[in-house]
Amino acid sequence: MTGSSATVRRALSSTVVVCSVLLSTGCGAAKSGGGASGATPSRATGATPTATPTVAAAVDSTRTVRVALDATGRTTARTSVRTELGKGSVPAYVISGKGAHDFAEHRGTVSIGIATAARFEEVLADGRVYIRGAAGDETMPWSYVDRDEVEARHILRAPANDPEYTLRQAAMGERFQQVGEEDLNGSAVTRYRGLLTHEALTLQMNKEMRAKTDRLRDLMGGLIPATVDVWVDSRKRAVQVRLSMTIEGAASSVNTLTLTELGRPVKVTVPAAEAAESDASILG
């Protein structure tokens, strides 16, 4: 095999790993004649803060972000989640939903849509994740899985669309710096950006996907470049979190959690035990 062919094969292998980790649809192989550079995950766009903060500033900003995430983790909120997976700036696969969550009591609900094909209702309560889906006029019955058995199967996508998981990932970010003041949903907020550690990326990840993510890290020279942005309101609470990773020429993943009406009571209705069956495959 020639050196050029070997390079293309390595590029193809790299792209396959990236796509499988991100679950992005439409992942293309390296084009013959275009060289391997476009398909090799050599660097990420928008993966680092725009300036290098001083050590003291990074420590202060990181402390501010973690305090804000902890404050949100002790209250309630209406939640909106949007996960975009794809290649380049245009997402090929979008998962979005809305719900409400009581972070202190570890209870919440979320309604999730995958493109226009199907919708799913989820209830997270009493140590379980309940789920049922609908497509057209068809609705499947409730099923459940124990919450401590739920594993992450895709990078930057919260398992069971659990907002608590996203807050935990964000709190594992490092070297935060203040990006600037912004307006979010009509309120003044401060935006901070940090770097996600490998431990954050692989949080609660199952064995198979952890191996793929570790391989991606090795292919990229020991670091998967991913960022976490946190928007903090005037009451020092996290009101939006965004986890991002774009690997040029291969794939991208963005997961945004927006939190509103913090402190407003959340009502959670748990499906009756007799109406739900245990099914560990429902979150596949």
pLDDT tens digit string along 144-200?
999 989 999 888 889 999 999 999 999 999 999 999 999 999 999 999 999 999 999
Q: What is the 3-state secondary structure (H, E, C) of the chain?
A: CCHHHHHHHHHHHHHHHHHHHHCCCCCCCCCCCCCCCCCCCCCECCCCCCCCCCHHHHHHHHHHHHHHHHHHCCCEEEEEEEEEEEECCEEEEEEEEEEEEECCCCEEEEEEEECCCEEEEEEEECCEEEEEEEECCEECCEEEEEHHHCCECCCCCCHHHCHHHHHHHHHCCEEEEEEEEEEECCEEEEEEEEECCHHHHCCCECHHHHHHHHHHHHHCCCCCCCEEEEEECCCCCEEEEEEEEEECCCEEEEEEEEEECCCCCCCCCCCCHHHEEECCCCCC
Give the CATH number of the domain where residue 208 resides: 2.50.20
Domain total in the chain = 1
Q: pLDDT by residue (tens digit) across 246-262?
A: 887 777 889 999 999 99
In a domain, 28, yes or no: no
What's the predicted TM-score (pTM) here?
0.79
pLDDT tier at 43, thresholds 50, 70, 90: very low
Is residue 22 included in any domain, yes or no? no
110 occurs within a structural domain: no
Q: Is residue 98 part of a domain?
A: no
214 found inside a domain:
yes
Domain interval for residue 265: 41-93+150-270
Is 192 among the domain residues? yes
What pLDDT sits at residue 18?
Answer: 44
- Let me know if residue 205 belongs to a domain: yes
